[in-house]
Amino acid sequence: MPTLNIELLESKLKENFNEKILSTDKDADMFSIVVTKEALHDVVQFLKEDAYFNFHYLTTLGGLHYPDSPFPFGLMVQLHNMPENSRIRIKAFTGDHEPTFQTLTNLWPAANWMEREAYDFFGFRFTGHHDLRRILNMDSLEGWPLRKEYPLEDPFRKDKDDKMFGR
């Protein structure tokens, strides 16, 4: 079975996106690239539609939060070329307090659920998303529970007395 030609992939990405590719890395068994937020959609679309690379399957789309970084919020996308059994990870970061990315639902309708999850847990907005609302948490939940500043204990519970737990 052929394997992903990383040198060719890097050169094609540099040729098409140049300074929008911030870094590349071979992490364990997966090639990873970091791109500018503005280029994320175009890079993913290129990887999907290019006949040679053929990363046609969206495996994962999820939020990242590194609060001590100058660009604390990131979106991570993993794609799979099933015939070649190759995978790739693409990340884009932003310093915006309310992170906004371009939707991928026009490339993969299944991105709808993954983007709604990133909204539900991290507060990410997706430009062009047709139905961005909470998917797993209650509509009444305040805040974004997977952001690092979210309290570990539920501040809205009235039935819990911390004295019982030695606090």
Q: pLDDT by residue (tens digit) across 3-61? A: 778 899 999 999 999 999 999 998 777 899 999 999 999 999 999 999 999 999 999 99
* Per-position b or e across 71-92, b if 16+ CB within 10 A of its CB: ebbbbbbbbbbeeeebbbbbbb
pLDDT score for 26: 85
Q: What pLDDT does 164 receive?
A: 63
The pLDDT assigned to 161 comes to 65
Question: How confident is the model over 58-72, as pLDDT tens digits?
Answer: 999 999 999 999 999
Q: For 9, how many CA atoms within 13 A lie in the half-sphere containing its CB?
A: 26
Superfamily of domain 6-165: NADH:ubiquinone oxidoreductase Nqo5 subunit (3.30.460.80)
- pLDDT for 85-96, tens place per residue? 999 999 999 999
Residue 167 has pLDDT above 60, yes or no: no
